[in-house]
Amino acid sequence: MSGETRSVPASKTSRRRRNRSDPLSSELIVERALDLTRREGAQALTMRRLGEELGVDPTAVYRHFRDKDELVLACMDRVVAMAYDALDPHLDVQDWRGVLRAVANQSWKACEAHPAIYSLAYHRTTGGPGERKMVELLLSTLARAGLSPRQAVLHYRTFADSMLAMCGMKAGAQSLETTLQEKDAGAWARIYAILPQEEYPAARAHAPHLAEVTERDIYLAVTDAVISLIDATLRG
Protein backbone atom coordinates (compact mmCIF):
# COMPACT_ATOMS: atom_id res chain seq x y z
CA MET A 1 0.00 0.00 0.00
CA SER A 2 1.27 3.46 -0.82
CA GLY A 3 1.83 6.12 1.82
CA GLU A 4 -0.99 8.28 0.48
CA THR A 5 -4.61 7.30 0.12
CA ARG A 6 -5.86 7.80 -3.39
CA SER A 7 -8.75 10.23 -3.61
CA VAL A 8 -11.77 9.42 -5.74
CA PRO A 9 -13.18 12.50 -7.50
CA ALA A 10 -16.25 13.76 -5.66
CA SER A 11 -18.34 13.72 -8.83
CA LYS A 12 -17.82 9.97 -9.12
CA THR A 13 -17.78 9.07 -5.43
CA SER A 14 -21.03 10.88 -4.64
CA ARG A 15 -22.85 8.64 -7.12
CA ARG A 16 -21.33 5.41 -5.82
CA ARG A 17 -23.77 2.94 -4.36
CA ARG A 18 -23.28 -0.49 -2.93
CA ASN A 19 -23.86 -3.29 -5.38
CA ARG A 20 -26.97 -5.00 -4.09
CA SER A 21 -25.25 -8.36 -4.49
CA ASP A 22 -22.46 -7.28 -2.14
CA PRO A 23 -23.16 -7.97 1.54
CA LEU A 24 -23.05 -5.02 3.89
CA SER A 25 -20.01 -5.37 6.16
CA SER A 26 -18.15 -3.37 8.80
CA GLU A 27 -15.25 -3.01 6.37
CA LEU A 28 -17.45 -1.56 3.64
CA ILE A 29 -19.14 0.84 6.06
CA VAL A 30 -15.78 2.15 7.26
CA GLU A 31 -14.56 2.51 3.68
CA ARG A 32 -17.60 4.60 2.72
CA ALA A 33 -17.37 6.64 5.92
CA LEU A 34 -13.78 7.53 5.05
CA ASP A 35 -14.81 8.45 1.50
CA LEU A 36 -17.63 10.63 2.82
CA THR A 37 -15.57 12.50 5.39
CA ARG A 38 -12.71 13.01 2.96
CA ARG A 39 -15.11 14.66 0.52
CA GLU A 40 -17.36 16.61 2.84
CA GLY A 41 -15.73 16.80 6.27
CA ALA A 42 -16.56 15.49 9.73
CA GLN A 43 -19.98 17.16 9.89
CA ALA A 44 -21.22 14.93 7.05
CA LEU A 45 -20.70 11.74 9.06
CA THR A 46 -24.17 10.76 10.26
CA MET A 47 -25.79 7.36 10.21
CA ARG A 48 -28.55 8.72 7.98
CA ARG A 49 -26.12 10.13 5.44
CA LEU A 50 -23.99 7.00 5.54
CA GLY A 51 -27.07 4.92 4.86
CA GLU A 52 -27.72 7.05 1.78
CA GLU A 53 -24.14 6.52 0.60
CA LEU A 54 -24.53 2.76 1.00
CA GLY A 55 -28.07 2.61 -0.40
CA VAL A 56 -29.46 1.08 2.80
CA ASP A 57 -31.68 2.10 5.66
CA PRO A 58 -29.60 3.72 8.47
CA THR A 59 -30.74 0.96 10.84
CA ALA A 60 -28.62 -1.46 8.80
CA VAL A 61 -25.50 0.45 9.83
CA TYR A 62 -26.45 0.06 13.49
CA ARG A 63 -26.31 -3.71 13.09
CA HIS A 64 -22.54 -3.34 12.63
CA PHE A 65 -21.81 -0.30 14.85
CA ARG A 66 -23.88 0.36 17.95
CA ASP A 67 -23.39 4.12 17.68
CA LYS A 68 -21.50 6.84 15.82
CA ASP A 69 -18.66 6.83 18.36
CA GLU A 70 -17.89 3.19 17.66
CA LEU A 71 -17.87 3.96 13.95
CA VAL A 72 -15.53 6.94 14.38
CA LEU A 73 -13.07 4.79 16.36
CA ALA A 74 -13.19 2.11 13.68
CA CYS A 75 -12.46 4.74 11.03
CA MET A 76 -9.55 6.11 13.04
CA ASP A 77 -8.18 2.61 13.49
CA ARG A 78 -8.37 2.07 9.73
CA VAL A 79 -6.37 5.26 9.17
CA VAL A 80 -3.72 4.07 11.68
CA ALA A 81 -3.65 0.72 9.87
CA MET A 82 -3.06 2.55 6.59
CA ALA A 83 -0.04 4.30 8.12
CA TYR A 84 1.27 0.98 9.44
CA ASP A 85 0.76 -0.84 6.13
CA ALA A 86 2.52 1.98 4.27
CA LEU A 87 5.76 1.39 6.19
CA ASP A 88 8.58 -0.05 4.14
CA PRO A 89 8.35 -3.86 4.54
CA HIS A 90 12.17 -3.90 4.61
CA LEU A 91 12.37 -1.33 7.41
CA ASP A 92 15.24 -2.22 9.73
CA VAL A 93 13.56 -2.66 13.12
CA GLN A 94 17.00 -2.60 14.76
CA ASP A 95 17.32 1.04 13.70
CA TRP A 96 14.98 2.53 16.28
CA ARG A 97 15.54 6.08 15.07
CA GLY A 98 14.61 5.04 11.53
CA VAL A 99 11.48 3.29 12.78
CA LEU A 100 10.30 6.36 14.71
CA ARG A 101 10.94 8.66 11.77
CA ALA A 102 9.16 6.27 9.36
CA VAL A 103 6.13 6.01 11.66
CA ALA A 104 6.03 9.79 12.08
CA ASN A 105 6.21 10.28 8.30
CA GLN A 106 3.42 7.84 7.49
CA SER A 107 1.25 9.17 10.31
CA TRP A 108 1.58 12.67 8.87
CA LYS A 109 0.55 11.41 5.42
CA ALA A 110 -2.43 9.57 6.90
CA CYS A 111 -3.48 12.74 8.69
CA GLU A 112 -3.24 14.72 5.45
CA ALA A 113 -5.38 12.12 3.67
CA HIS A 114 -8.06 11.95 6.39
CA PRO A 115 -8.06 15.19 8.40
CA ALA A 116 -11.75 14.92 9.29
CA ILE A 117 -11.36 11.56 11.03
CA TYR A 118 -8.12 12.66 12.70
CA SER A 119 -9.82 15.77 14.06
CA LEU A 120 -12.57 13.60 15.57
CA ALA A 121 -10.44 10.88 17.13
CA TYR A 122 -6.71 11.67 17.29
CA HIS A 123 -6.95 11.87 21.10
CA ARG A 124 -8.82 8.57 21.47
CA THR A 125 -7.68 4.98 22.00
CA THR A 126 -9.22 2.76 19.33
CA GLY A 127 -8.06 -0.61 20.66
CA GLY A 128 -8.42 -1.94 17.12
CA PRO A 129 -6.07 -4.08 15.01
CA GLY A 130 -4.36 -1.10 13.37
CA GLU A 131 -3.54 0.55 16.66
CA ARG A 132 -2.46 -2.75 18.23
CA LYS A 133 0.05 -3.36 15.43
CA MET A 134 1.46 0.15 15.76
CA VAL A 135 1.77 -0.11 19.56
CA GLU A 136 3.51 -3.48 19.26
CA LEU A 137 5.96 -2.14 16.67
CA LEU A 138 6.91 0.92 18.71
CA LEU A 139 7.19 -0.81 22.08
CA SER A 140 9.24 -3.71 20.71
CA THR A 141 11.50 -1.28 18.83
CA LEU A 142 12.18 0.81 21.94
CA ALA A 143 12.77 -2.32 24.03
CA ARG A 144 15.35 -3.57 21.52
CA ALA A 145 17.04 -0.17 21.69
CA GLY A 146 17.88 -0.91 25.33
CA LEU A 147 15.20 0.90 27.31
CA SER A 148 13.76 -0.70 30.42
CA PRO A 149 10.03 -1.54 30.33
CA ARG A 150 9.19 1.59 32.33
CA GLN A 151 11.39 3.75 30.11
CA ALA A 152 10.04 2.16 26.93
CA VAL A 153 6.45 2.89 27.93
CA LEU A 154 7.23 6.48 28.91
CA HIS A 155 9.04 7.22 25.68
CA TYR A 156 6.49 5.37 23.58
CA ARG A 157 3.74 7.56 25.06
CA THR A 158 5.86 10.67 24.65
CA PHE A 159 6.46 9.88 21.00
CA ALA A 160 2.96 8.68 20.13
CA ASP A 161 1.13 11.42 22.00
CA SER A 162 3.37 14.13 20.52
CA MET A 163 2.84 12.85 16.98
CA LEU A 164 -0.91 12.47 17.45
CA ALA A 165 -1.21 15.93 18.98
CA MET A 166 0.68 17.54 16.12
CA CYS A 167 -1.36 15.61 13.55
CA GLY A 168 -4.54 16.53 15.41
CA MET A 169 -3.66 20.22 15.28
CA LYS A 170 -2.98 19.95 11.56
CA ALA A 171 -6.21 18.05 11.00
CA GLY A 172 -8.19 20.65 12.91
CA ALA A 173 -6.67 23.46 10.87
CA GLN A 174 -7.10 21.55 7.60
CA SER A 175 -10.77 20.95 8.41
CA LEU A 176 -11.51 24.67 8.67
CA GLU A 177 -13.13 26.54 5.81
CA THR A 178 -10.61 27.84 3.29
CA THR A 179 -11.17 31.47 4.28
CA LEU A 180 -10.43 30.67 7.92
CA GLN A 181 -7.30 28.72 6.97
CA GLU A 182 -6.06 31.73 5.01
CA LYS A 183 -6.91 34.05 7.88
CA ASP A 184 -4.87 31.99 10.34
CA ALA A 185 -1.98 31.58 7.91
CA GLY A 186 -1.69 35.34 7.50
CA ALA A 187 -1.98 36.20 11.19
CA TRP A 188 1.78 36.38 11.80
CA ALA A 189 2.25 38.99 9.08
CA ARG A 190 -1.09 40.72 9.62
CA ILE A 191 -0.83 41.07 13.41
CA TYR A 192 2.62 40.32 14.82
CA ALA A 193 4.65 42.10 12.17
CA ILE A 194 2.97 45.41 13.00
CA LEU A 195 2.86 45.27 16.80
CA PRO A 196 4.33 48.32 18.59
CA GLN A 197 8.12 47.95 18.50
CA GLU A 198 8.60 49.37 22.01
CA GLU A 199 6.16 46.95 23.62
CA TYR A 200 6.82 43.81 21.55
CA PRO A 201 10.41 44.00 20.24
CA ALA A 202 10.95 40.23 20.16
CA ALA A 203 7.69 39.55 18.33
CA ARG A 204 8.48 42.25 15.76
CA ALA A 205 12.02 40.94 15.23
CA HIS A 206 10.88 37.35 14.73
CA ALA A 207 7.66 37.98 12.81
CA PRO A 208 9.13 37.16 9.35
CA HIS A 209 10.45 33.82 10.61
CA LEU A 210 7.18 33.04 12.40
CA ALA A 211 5.42 33.44 9.06
CA GLU A 212 7.91 31.20 7.25
CA VAL A 213 7.99 28.15 9.52
CA THR A 214 5.66 25.35 8.39
CA GLU A 215 3.63 22.75 10.26
CA ARG A 216 5.86 20.10 8.72
CA ASP A 217 9.00 21.88 10.04
CA ILE A 218 7.54 21.85 13.54
CA TYR A 219 6.49 18.21 13.25
CA LEU A 220 9.99 17.12 12.25
CA ALA A 221 11.51 19.21 15.04
CA VAL A 222 9.25 17.52 17.59
CA THR A 223 10.17 14.08 16.21
CA ASP A 224 13.88 14.89 16.50
CA ALA A 225 13.37 16.25 20.02
CA VAL A 226 11.81 12.98 21.18
CA ILE A 227 14.60 11.00 19.52
CA SER A 228 17.17 13.15 21.30
CA LEU A 229 15.39 12.55 24.60
CA ILE A 230 15.54 8.77 24.05
CA ASP A 231 19.22 9.06 23.11
CA ALA A 232 19.88 10.89 26.37
CA THR A 233 18.06 8.18 28.33
CA LEU A 234 20.03 5.41 26.66
CA ARG A 235 23.27 7.21 27.53
CA GLY A 236 22.18 7.16 31.15
- Residue 60 predicted with pLDDT over 70: yes
| pLDDT for residue 10 | 40
| pLDDT for residue 20 | 54
Taken as a whole, the chain contains a residue count of: 236
| pLDDT for residue 19 | 55
**What is the C-alpha separation between 141 and 136, in angstroms, rounded?**
8
Mean local confidence (pLDDT), 18-27: 73
**What is the C-alpha separation between 117 and 124, in angstroms, rounded?**
11
- DSSP-derived letter for residue 87 is S
| pLDDT for residue 9 | 40
| pLDDT for residue 23 | 82
Write the CATH number of the domain with boundaries 10-175: 1.10.357.10
Percent share of the chain, pLDDT over 90: 81
Taking each helix axis as running N to C, give the angle between helix 26-40 and helix 68-85, from 0 to 180 degrees, rounded to the nearest 10. 90
C-beta separation of 25 from 74 below 8 A = no
Average pLDDT over all residues of the chain: 90
At 17, the pLDDT band (50, 70, 90 cuts) reads low
- Per-residue pLDDT tens over the stretch 103-122: 999 999 999 999 999 999 99
Q: Residue-wise over 179-215: b if at least 16 C-beta within 10 A, else e?
A: eeeeeeeeebeeebeeeeeeeeeebbeebeeeeeeee
- Residue 7 predicted with pLDDT over 60: no
**What is the C-alpha separation between 154 and 102, in angstroms, rounded?**
20
For the chain, domain boundaries: 10-175
At 37, the pLDDT band (50, 70, 90 cuts) reads very high
